[in-house]
Amino acid sequence: LQAQECVGGILDPNLSVFLPRDTAVKRSLLDQDLSRALNQNPECFLDPDTERVTSYETLKKKCKTEPHTGLALLPIADRKDPSNIMFEGIRKTVSAQQLLECGVLDKSTFSRLVNGQKTLLDVAVDQKVYLKGTGPIAGIVLGKQGKMSLSEAKKQKIISESSADLLLEAQAATGYIIDP
C-alpha cells in the first residue's frame, strides 16, 4: 500500500484508478487503522545500496527517471569484488577480503568499501598502521653532526654496540633496515 500511495494513491480494483487515501477510506478500500499506519511512513523496504531499512518514499526519491521510457530506476553503486580490492602491504599486496578475515577491517568498513561508500585511499589512510606500520627507530640525531644511521653511530661509538645491535634487530624485525 505504501508503494501504491507513492505512485499515485490507493488502487481501486474495480475502477482501475488510483484514489486519494481519504477517498479510499470512504470507499472501504482502507480502514482507519491502515490509514494511520500509512501516516507513519513505515520503514519496511531494504535499500539495496546501503542495506538499511527505509521507506518506499525514500527509495522513490533516490530514483532517476529514464528519459526514453519515463520509468523510475533506482541507482545502485557498483559493487566491487572484495578479492579484487587490493591494498599495498609492507612487502606485498593484500585483498580487502583478507583484511576482513584477519580483523584489520571491521564489517562496516568492509561493506562501505565494497559498496563504494568509502574509497580505497580512505581505508588505506585509516588502516595505515596495519598496512605499513608506524616505522621503527630509523637512526639518531646528534646536534650539529645531524642524522646518522644506527650502524654509523655504532662505528663512531656514539651509541654502544649492544644498543645499536638491539635497535638494528628491531628495525629488521619490522621488515627492513633503514639508512636515514
Separation of alpha carbons 157 and 164, rounded Å: 10
Domain shared by 128 and 147, yes or no: no
Asked whether 56 and 45 are in contact (CB, 8 A), the reply is yes
Q: What is the CATH number of the domain that holds 14?
A: 3.90.1290.10
Domain that holds residue 49: 2-73
Separation of alpha carbons 164 and 174, rounded Å: 16
Domain shared by 126 and 94, yes or no: yes
Torsion angle, alpha carbons of 114, 120, 125, 130, to 10: 70
**Does residue 179 lie within any of the structural domains?**
no
pTM: 0.46
Q: Which residues of 1-21 are buried (b: 16+ CB within 10 A; e: fewer)?
A: bbebbbeebbbeeeeeeebeb
C-alpha pair distances (Å), 176 with each of 22, 93, 137, 171: 74, 17, 11, 6
Domain shared by 61 and 111, yes or no: no
Is 70 exceeded by the pLDDT of residue 14?
yes
> What is residue 99's predicted lDDT score, i.e. its pLDDT?
95
**Does residue 178 lie within any of the structural domains?**
no
Domain shared by 40 and 95, yes or no: no
Q: How many domains does the chain have?
A: 3
**Sign of the dihedral defined by the CA atoms of residues 138, 141, 147, 149, in that order:** negative
The mean pLDDT value for 74-87 works out to 79
Residue indicated by cell numbers 599486496: 93
Domain shared by 165 and 122, yes or no: no
Domain shared by 97 and 35, yes or no: no
Domain shared by 32 and 13, yes or no: yes
pLDDT tens, residue by residue, 94-152: 999 999 999 999 999 998 888 878 888 999 999 998 898 877 888 899 888 889 989 99
Mean pLDDT over the full length of the chain: 86
Separation of alpha carbons 66 and 172, rounded Å: 59
Domain shared by 40 and 13, yes or no: yes
Domain shared by 69 and 15, yes or no: yes
